[in-house]
Chain A
Amino acid sequence: MNERPMTHDEALELAGLFVLGALEPADEAAVREHLATCPLSHAEFEELGGVVPALLADVELVEPPAALRDRIMDAARADLAARGRAIAPPAPAAPTPFPSAIERETRRRTRPSRFDWALRIAAVIAIVVAGAGGLLLQRQLDASQRFDRAVAAVLDAAAKPGARAVILAPAEGKQGRGLAAVAPDGTVTLAMRDLPATGGTQVYTAWVIVGSTPTSLADFTVDANGIASVITHPAPTQPGAIIALTLEPNAGNMAPTGAIISTGVTPAAPPAATS
């Protein structure tokens, strides 16, 4: 790559090759850097880039083999089962103990494990209904619909054998409530609402805390509607493990560094159905 930054004219001359993805990596990076930093107009990039989708139609249509669908669905199914393992951060060499005050606060809020699992689901539905009832503005309605879909995903996950439902309540002075379903393999399906929007490099990080050892489950951002729908990768868990959300300054932290937003405690597995 050249040492000096690319000039505006040089970048414009490369616009066609750039939008077709036909630049060498160094040139492509230089154009991207230019676009990110140059205050002048780059309308030609938009004009040329707008042509590219049309090129996609210039093909002779050929039907793929029927078996390809099964291959893709099998791969997606396997990915769902192992989702996140590849991106899971390595276990921290010296895990930072989670603040004991938080644990105390969380346990104070927690019902004993004999708290009926079905009641938890009913409570969740009540949250949804109560939340939806007060939403009058369209934006709020959209948010409510998104939350409904997120809750539906949690309920689906919670209905599976061995899954446990967790209510997440806001920490003292914070906003953000919702619910989670913890699968037997530790995958957590999470539906949250009322979360303040993230900004800049901020992310929410979901944690599972077993004893005093936190493990990062997922990083995610939230927009102005305050809704999050997340499926994490699997992580070791056990009854009594804390599911927590923190607001982190950036993604990829191995241990919580930011404010605790919301917590809940994983109950014992629901009793086996008896006839």
Chain B
Amino acid sequence: MASPVDDADRAVLELVTNGQLDALQDLYDRYRTMAYSIALRITTDPSLAEDVVQDAFLGVWRNASRYVEGRGSVKTWVLSIVHHRAVDAVRRRRPTTGLPEREDTPPPALTLPDLWQEVAGNLDREEIAGAMARLTDVQREAIELAYWAGLTQPEIAERTGAPLGTVKSRVRLGLLALRRSLLEGGTGADGTPGEGGPA
């Protein structure tokens, strides 16, 4: 169910769709801290992070009409665009990495309707950090390299020395364990089969 914040966000986004500059500023003020923090964690470069946030909010400005109600909150949509642009930015700094042709398409997760996204998008850092800590070291490493360092499967394999198939399994099983841990409120729920303890 949509919260009052979600409703307010949607109203603001509709004004952005209509070309209202004040609404864009409102939306920026709502999520600037999260947006910049995400961009900074991925790029580790304050100047590049600013460029990413600017690029992302311009993307929101130009493509606000592409937001699809029912496929996640406005907050998640905006912050996912920031994440997406930040990953693209760090990949551009790595000339060996090909960039997917998805400049204006939402990140993959946004194409997937899932009511639990609403819950997941409102967790605080302590909860997610706790759940991440309960993963095995190799699962956590694989997810962090993929999500926060913007590495692709072969790059993670090269960085960690693990075969491609192992990287695939670590990420998949790690995300399943993370979901279970978050849903259960986190009491060491990592009973994921297939790959065990710390590296």
Contacts and interface: CB of A to CB of B under 8 A. Distances in A.
Contacts of A49: 108-109, 111-112, 114, 117
Contacts of B37: 59-62
A58 B132 contact: yes
B61 interface: yes
Interface string A9-51: 0000111111111111101110000000000000001111111
B87 A21 contact: yes
A63 B113 contact: no
B114 A68 contact: no
Contacts of A45: 112
Nearest to B110: A49
Nearest to B107: A21
Contacts of B134: none
Interface in B1-38: 14, 17-21, 24-25, 28-29, 32-38
A104 interface: no
Interface residues of B, number: 80
Contact of A16 (B124, B127, B168): B168
Interface string A113-149: 0000000000000000000000000000000000001
A35 to B, nearest CB: 8
B53 interface: yes
A152 B121 CA distance: 33
Given A17-B153, A54-B123, A56-B79, A68 B143 contact: no
Given A57-B124, A57-B125, A65-B50, A23 B28 contact: no
B152 interface: yes
Contact of B101 (A17, A25, A153): A25
Interface stretch (A72-80, A206-214, A249-257, A258-266): A72-80
A16 B174 contact: yes
Given A47-B176, A60-B37, A25 B100 contact: yes
Given A17-B171, A23-B153, A48-B172, A69 B121 contact: no
A55 interface: yes
Interface in B80-136: 80, 83-84, 87, 98-102, 107-109, 111-117, 120-121, 123-125, 127-129, 131-132
B138 interface: no
Task: Output the residue of B32, B41, B175, B178 with the most chain A CB within 10 A.
Answer: B175
A64 to B, nearest CB: 4
A60 B35 CA distance: 11
A28 B54 contact: no
A64 B58 CA distance: 16
Contacts of B128: 54-55, 57-58
Contacts of A54: 120-121, 123, 127-128, 131, 178, 182
Interface in B149-187: 150-154, 156, 167-169, 171-176, 178-179, 182
Interface of B: 14, 17-21, 24-25, 28-29, 32-38, 40-41, 49-50, 53-54, 57-58, 61-62, 72, 76, 79-80, 83-84, 87, 98-102, 107-109, 111-117, 120-121, 123-125, 127-129, 131-132, 143, 146-147, 150-154, 156, 167-169, 171-176, 178-179, 182
Given A47-B114, A54-B123, A61-B125, 9 more contacts: A22-B147, A45-B112, A46-B113, A56-B76, A57-B127, A64-B50, A79-B58, A80-B19, A150-B18
5 contacts: A46-B112, A60-B41, A61-B37, A72-B53, A76-B24
